[in-house]
């Protein structure tokens, strides 16, 4: 299954949603020295470098990034150092294979705008999830993706959309309840489709936006509109952006994309027309690639594909059928 090989989909975290209703869960876990805390600042995840054995030391000794998971007392100490004025939100993230409980403490982005935290050597470095994701292991990625998505939802949901009242956290961080009217709000994710569109000669459709770096192309993609099924989103987006008609649509794989709250849902789709007419707004150019032309364009450096972190890269690779070639300089 392609989903479990996608960089942001390979979570090894068990969420244990059945434990969230216990109103004392977070208080109890934050007093337990065996709990591991993920401390987020805005959308930045805490990273330390993986220690290497002496034989492996290279490039000054920096190993792969590792998500910094701290005991509650140390997490609180770190937050007092970095964001002394803030009151972090807490959430129960789940349990790992060794039955250790994981908790999120997140400081909203607004509280971190005052500048960089002190860069003592014993503090983690806060960095964007995209920069480190492919180096994190399956537990770390499950924690980092859930933490990033949940923290950003909380940051945007302080007030009730029904009555304007203040909302407070319930269900161990997975619900916000309005203190005035009692209405509950749940974390949301926005579905977006992305598709390998193939013609009758098995050629692949890709397009580029005007703002992208020269040579950069990707699969067509777009958000699902209210009242629309995913298959129709695929057909609508391909026709709107490239003027190509699509018939059969098959699901492939999905990957969370918490920047800030998308779920990328990958499809394979078969075109019933081949003439391209780009909309000039979302797409400035689009074309069809055979496997031969795609391989040649990648080797020559004329074509640049989306990064390995993206589901687009995985879907293109799956169609290509072998590892994607890199540019020969």
Report if residue 162 touches Zn ion, rule: CB under 5 A.
Answer: yes
Q: 163 vs 324, which CB is nearer to Zn ion?
A: 163
Q: Which stretch binds Zn ion (CB under 5 A): 100-108, 109-117, 139-147, 178-186?
A: 178-186
What is the spatial distance between Cα 213 and Cα 313, in angstroms, rounded to a whole number? 16
Which helix or strand (DSSP H or E) is residue 31 part of? none
What order of strands is seen across the sheet that includes strand 184-185? 167-170, 175-178, 184-185
Q: Which stretch binds Zn ion (CB under 5 A): 32-40, 87-95, 154-162, 224-232?
A: 154-162
Report if residue 160 touches Zn ion, rule: CB under 5 A.
Answer: yes
Report if residue 163 touches Zn ion, rule: CB under 5 A.
Answer: yes
What is the total count of residues that contact Zn ion (CB under 5 A)? 8
**Which one of residues 17, 57, 97, 180 is an interface residue with Zn ion (CB under 5 A)?**
180
Report if residue 324 touches Zn ion, rule: CB under 5 A.
Answer: no
Least spacing, CB of residue 177 vs Zn ion, in Å = 9
Q: At a CB cut-off of 8 Å and minimum separation 6, what does 112 contact?
A: 41, 42, 44, 82, 83, 86
Report if residue 191 touches Zn ion, rule: CB under 5 A.
Answer: no
Number of Cβ within 10 Å of residue 116's Cβ equals: 10
Report if residue 194 touches Zn ion, rule: CB under 5 A.
Answer: no
Q: 165 vs 187, which CB is nearer to Zn ion?
A: 165
Number of Cβ within 10 Å of residue 317's Cβ equals: 16
What is the spatial distance between Cα 231 and Cα 307, in angstroms, rounded to a whole number? 25
Least spacing, CB of residue 162 vs Zn ion, in Å = 5
Least spacing, CB of residue 160 vs Zn ion, in Å = 3
What is the spatial distance between Cα 326 and Cα 300, in angstroms, rounded to a whole number? 8
Question: CA 270, 276, 281, 282 torsion: positive or negative?
Answer: positive
Q: Which stretch binds Zn ion (CB under 5 A): 140-148, 183-191, 200-208, 255-263?
A: 183-191
* Residues of this chain, 81-140, that bind Zn ion according to CB under 5 A: none
Please check whether residue 13 is in contact with residue 139, taking contact to mean a CB–CB distance below 8 angstroms. Answer: yes
Q: Which stretch binds Zn ion (CB under 5 A): 31-39, 153-161, 202-210, 306-314?
A: 153-161
Question: CA 186, 187, 191, 192 torsion: positive or negative?
Answer: positive
What is the spatial distance between Cα 207 and Cα 210, in angstroms, rounded to a whole number? 10
Q: From residue 84, how far is each of 6, 17, 116, 123, 144 by CA, in Å?
A: 37, 31, 13, 15, 23
What is the spatial distance between Cα 45 and Cα 202, in angstroms, rounded to a whole number? 41
Report if residue 187 touches Zn ion, rule: CB under 5 A.
Answer: no
Q: 170 vs 279, which CB is nearer to Zn ion?
A: 170
Q: Which stretch binds Zn ion (CB under 5 A): 19-27, 57-65, 165-173, 304-312?
A: 165-173
Q: 40 vs 160, which CB is nearer to Zn ion?
A: 160
**Which one of residues 36, 144, 146, 178 is an interface residue with Zn ion (CB under 5 A)?**
178
Q: 77 vs 183, which CB is nearer to Zn ion?
A: 183
Binding residues for Zn ion, rule: CB under 5 A, are 160, 162-163, 165, 178, 180-181, 183
């Amino acid at each position: 299954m392609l989903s479990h090989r996608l960089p942001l989909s390979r979570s090894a975290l068990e969420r244990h949603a059945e434990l969230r209703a216990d109103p004392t869960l977070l208080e109890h876990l934050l007093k337990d020295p065996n709990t591991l805390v993920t401390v987020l600042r805005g959308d930045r995840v805490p990273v330390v470098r993986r220690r290497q054995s002496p034989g492996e030391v290279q490039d000054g000794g920096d190993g792969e990034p590792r998500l910094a998971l701290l005991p509650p007392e140390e997490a609180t100490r770190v937050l007092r150092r970095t964001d002394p004025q803030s009151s972090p939100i807490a959430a129960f993230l789940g349990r790992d294979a060794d039955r250790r409980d994981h908790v999120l403490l997140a400081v909203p982005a607004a509280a971190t705008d005052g500048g960089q935290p002190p860069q003592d050597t014993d503090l983690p470095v806060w960095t964007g999830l995209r920069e480190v994701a492919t180096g994190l292991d399956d537990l770390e990625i499950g924690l980092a993706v859930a933490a990033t998505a949940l923290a950003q939802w909380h940051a945007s949901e302080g007030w009730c959309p029904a009555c304007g009242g203040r909302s407070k956290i319930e269900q161990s961080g997975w619900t916000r309840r309005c203190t005035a009217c009692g209405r509950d709000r749940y974390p949301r994710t926005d579905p977006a489709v992305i598709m390998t569109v193939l013609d009758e000669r098995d050629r692949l459709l890709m397009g580029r936006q005007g703002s992208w770096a020269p040579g950069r192309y990707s699969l067509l993609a777009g958000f699902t509109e209210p009242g629309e099924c995913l298959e129709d989103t695929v057909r609508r987006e391909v026709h709107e952006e490239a003027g190509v008609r699509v018939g059969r649509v098959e699901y492939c794989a999905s990957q969370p994309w918490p920047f800030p709250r998308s779920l990328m849902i990958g499809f394979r789709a078969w075109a019933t027309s081949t003439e391209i007419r780009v909309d000039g707004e979302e797409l400035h150019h689009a074309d069809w690639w055979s496997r031969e032309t795609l391989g040649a364009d990648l080797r020559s450096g004329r074509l640049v594909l989306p990064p390995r972190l993206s589901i687009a890269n995985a879907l293109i690779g799956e169609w290509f059928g072998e590892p994607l070639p890199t540019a020969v300089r």
